[in-house]
A and B are shown apart, each in its own frame.
Chain A
Amino acid sequence: MVLLSLAMIAGCSRADTGDSEVAVVTIQNKGSDTIVNLALAWAEAYQLVDPQVRVAVTGGGSGTGITALVNGTVDIANASRQIKDEELRAAQANAIEVRELVIALDAIAIVVHPDNPVERLTLQQISDIYSGKITNWREVGGEDRPIVLLSRETNSGTHVYFLEEVIRLGQADDTTLFSPDTLLLPSSEGISAEVRQNPNAIGYDGLGYVTPDMKTVDVGLSFEGPFWSPTVETVNAGQYPIARELYMYSTAAASDAITTYLEWILSPEAQRIVLDLGFIPVAATE
């Protein structure tokens, strides 16, 4: 009788401590909308790797994420741009030492109709096309057709990146804008649909959105070449010119759980997810 009740008590107490033994650690992860799908996929996959760690992912934009990291309200900030000097100074003022990790690369492909004979363009030509200086495909070695410019809406991070790095060629004091004739389409599907059926169209989008029935243009820095097509290899080698690094920022005071999670992100398993979502991995996927 005593034995039985002891066993019952033991059973009860084991059941009681069951939850507290497997203490769930939650990692707060916030930032870029470009990365949010990737971060979510990682968070989901990490559940199987370590069920004790939950990763809570929210978007809001790169700036929002970094500000939250500096204020100590998140553990990891996602950013599609590098941290700015003033943000670093703000972090120092809060005695936070920021750690940077490149998690993936994002290439932006220039897409045209499959029948378009134009194979290659220089960055300067793309800039001139989108700012309205070049308005006919003939001027860049194509057929005598008007160029129809396609872009994502202004709220897309890709739109802003394209404006700064391609149209303005990375020059901060340049105030060139998209030509007013540019069609602003609300979705990637809108761009794909128009590029597939319209031989006049030119568009740009993340490599992950390019399907085989569109043609990507090789991009070079000068007329002499070389020109590179947007592939995993050329982006990894740092050759394809319209590619950007995607970052995760954490702090030096990060817990073991966070450090382990960030290490796992560079593992082949996690980097395969990068490839699946159309981004370019930064580490081996095998």
Chain B
Amino acid sequence: MKHLTELLTAKRATSFSEFLIERLIGLTGLSAIALVAMIFFFLIREGVPAFFKVPLSSLWSTRWYPIEEYFGLLPLIAGSLLVTVGAAIIALPLGLTTAIFIAEIVPRWVREFLKPLVEVLAGIPSVVIGFMGMLVLAPLVRVSLNIPTGLTAFTGVILLAWMALPTVVSVVEDVLDSVPRTYRDAGLALGLTRWQTIWRIVLPAGRSGILTALMLGVGRAIGETMTVMMVTGNAARIPRSLPDFFMSVRTMTATIAAEMGEVAQGSAHYHVLFAVGLALFVITFLVNAAAATVVFRQLKRSERMLS
């Protein structure tokens, strides 16, 4: 009898602690969602008044000079897109191939050495990268390309690609590592070459994870502030042709960082800066949504093929 009571109390204690832990996990999970919702709500609350205070024709113009009430957002959006797309074009193939090299080609011990080395890159503070870009890369770009200044979109693209690289490499490498050994064995057993195994079997198997990695890389590039502020020159001009790639641009993030500190709260400028933040949020959301759709569609196709 006594034994049974003890058992029951012990069980009740376990179920209580289990209950507590479950709730705690639920709470932390919800808080992450709540935080995003609150950020979104705050951005809307502070950003939407901009569309009432400043006429849409003014926002949709090409001149950004807020202290004289010029609030054209086009150069900022164009600047951010140019720098991000440029960084993605360089970082994604480079990151993907580096990850394949580390995960599939080199021996185990080299990999144990290379992967932490790549991850160290991710730990360098962006202001340090920006400073090096300003003092080393910018002069190099100017002299080697013979252009008026080294503080250009191109310089920003190189640095951003460099910063997005460790994220892409690290995540893709993990994804490839999680593809079962048997897949490769099966491929080789069927007489495929090593390259065919990687390209036709391993990569498609890790497709959704790879896409996530690429999106993380793009997210790193579009959200980066300090580095682009230091090396892109921040001239709010619209890039119209290829040579403009080697001219200065002003990104949305750099604009918010440079101007938010001094702006009078509640002024038109203040609300427009939040509207810029809102635009940034929407763009990031669209990019992620697009990626998710692609993953989802391909999943369905592979299910079809298996059935």
Contacts and interface: CB of A to CB of B under 8 A. Distances in A.
A178 B65 contact: yes
A18 interface: no
Given A148-B149, A184-B234, A194-B149, A177 B139 contact: no
B149 A190 contact: no
Contact of A155 (B70, B150, B234, B261): B261
Interface in B125-146: 134-135, 138-139, 142
Interface string A171-201: 0000101101111111000100110011011
Contact of A183 (B75, B235, B257): B235
A180 B258 contact: no
Contact of A154 (B139, B230, B233, B259): B259
Given A182-B235, A183-B233, A198-B149, A155 B262 contact: yes
A175 B65 CA distance: 12
Contacts of A190: 134, 230
A146 interface: yes
A193 B135 contact: yes
A165 interface: no
A160 interface: yes
B250 A184 contact: yes
A153 B259 contact: yes
Contacts of B139: 197-198
A145 B150 CA distance: 14
B67 A160 contact: yes
Which size bracket describes the interface of A in this complex? 20 to 34
Given A148-B148, A154-B67, A183 B234 contact: yes
B68 A181 contact: no
Contacts of A177: 63, 65, 68, 70
Determine which residue in B66, B148, B150 has the highest number of CB atoms from chain A within 10 A of its CB, and name it. B148
Interface string B37-77: 00000000000000000000000000101111010000100
Contacts of B247: 181
Interface string A4-47: 00000000000000000000000000000000000000000000
A64 to B, nearest CB: 10
B170 interface: no
A160 B264 CA distance: 16
Nearest to A154: B67
Contact of A200 (B135, B149, B257, B262): B149
Contacts of A182: 235
Q: Which of B67, B68, B150, B233 has the most CB of A within 10 A?
A: B233
B237 A180 contact: yes
Nearest to B237: A180
A141 B56 CA distance: 44
Interface in B258-273: 258-259, 261-263
Which of A147, A181, A200 has the most B CB atoms < 10 Å from its CB? A181
Given A177-B68, A190-B230, A184 B237 contact: no
A183 B149 contact: yes
User: Which residue among A155, A180, A194 has the maximum number of chain B CB atoms within 10 Å of its CB?
Assistant: A180
Nearest to A185: B234
A186 B149 contact: no
Contacts of A146: 148
Nearest to B269: A154
Contacts of A148: 148-149
Interface string A149-181: 000011100001000000000000001011011
Contacts of B258: 153, 155, 184, 186
A197 B138 CA distance: 9
Which of B65, B235, B261 is most buried by chain A, counting CB atoms within 10 A of its CB? B235
B215 interface: no
Contacts of B257: 186
B134 A186 contact: no
A197 B248 CA distance: 17
Contacts of A183: 149, 151, 233-235, 248
Contacts of A194: 134, 138, 149, 151
Interface in B193-233: 229-230, 233
Contact of B235 (A147, A184, A197): A184
Contacts of B235: 180-184
Contacts of A200: 148-149
A13 B258 CA distance: 57
Contacts of B150: 198
B257 to A, nearest CB: 8
Interface of B: 63, 65-68, 70, 75, 134-135, 138-139, 142, 148-151, 229-230, 233-237, 247-248, 250, 257-259, 261-263
Given A154-B67, A155-B259, 8 more contacts: A180-B63, A183-B151, A183-B235, A185-B151, A190-B134, A197-B142, A198-B139, A198-B150
27 contacts: A145-B148, A148-B148, A153-B234, A153-B258, A154-B259, A155-B259, A155-B262, A177-B63, A177-B68, A177-B70, A180-B63, A180-B235, A180-B236, A182-B235, A183-B234, A184-B233, A185-B151, A186-B257, A190-B134, A190-B230, A193-B134, A193-B135, A194-B134, A197-B138, A197-B142, A198-B139, A198-B150
The 6 closest A-B pairs by CB, nearest first: A155-B262, A183-B233, A146-B148, A184-B234, A148-B149, A197-B139
